[in-house]
Amino acid sequence: MRHSLVSILLFGFSGLAVVYLIRQGMIGVRADSLGNLLVGLVILTLWNEIHFFVIHCLMHLPYFMKRVHWVHHRSWIPGVFSVYSFHPVEALLLSTVPLTIAPWVDFAPSVFLLFPLVSILLNFSGHANYRFGQGGEAGWFHFASRHNAHHERSRGHYGFVLPVPDWRIKSKKGKG
C-alpha cells in the first residue's frame, strides 16, 4: 500500500510539472474543443503505449528487475491493488508520459486533465483479473489476459494495452 501511495503522489507531481512548463511557455496548448480533446487523448494514449513498453522492457533487465520492478511483480496474479504498486524510480519514469511528448505536440488543457482518468481506467482493466471477450491472449481487447500471463511468467507481454509492440519484437510468450 505504501508503494501505491508514493506512486500516486509522483504521478500527481508530474501533472504539476506540466502546469509549470505551460506557464513558462515551454509547452504550448491548443484551444479546448471536442475535436482537440479526442485527438489529444488518442495521441497521448498511443504515446503511452510506446513509453510504457520502453520503460517496461527496461525494468525487465536484470539490474532493474532485482532493484526496482520486483515491487510490481510481487503480485503473480494482478489485482486492483497492484495497479500503482511501483518502486518510486519506476513510478517516476512512468509518470513522465505527458512530459516526454508535450514539448513537441500541443494539447488542449482538458487532455492533461482527462488523460490520467483514461490511463487509470485502462490500468484497472489490465489488472482486473477479468477477460473482456472470448479467446486467448491474442485478441486486441484481451490485455488483461496478456498482463496476467506477464505477471505469471515475468517475461513477455511488455505492452500496456495494445499487443503491437510485443508483436514487433516477438516478445509474446516470453521470447523477448
Burial of 118 (0-12, 13-18, 19+ CB in 10 A): middle
Query: Residue type at 157?
Result: H
3-state secondary structure of 107: strand
| Full-model pTM | 0.81
Instruction: Name the average pLDDT for the chain.
Output: 82
Above pLDDT 90, what percent of the chain? 49
Q: What is the count of structural domains for the chain?
A: 1
Note the pLDDT tens digit of each residue in 80-125: 777 788 899 999 999 999 999 999 999 999 999 999 999 888 887 7
Report the alpha-carbon distance of residue 26 to residue 18 in Å, rounded. 9
Burial of 110 (0-12, 13-18, 19+ CB in 10 A): middle
Confidence of residue 176 (pLDDT cuts 50, 70, 90): very low
Note the pLDDT tens digit of each residue in 23-46: 999 999 999 999 999 999 999 999
Domain hosting residue 152, numbered range:
2-174
From 103, 107, 101, select the one nearest 35 (Cα to Cα): 107
Residue 72 pLDDT:
81
Note the pLDDT tens digit of each residue in 133-162: 665 555 555 666 666 666 666 666 666 666
How many residues in total does the chain contain?
Answer: 176
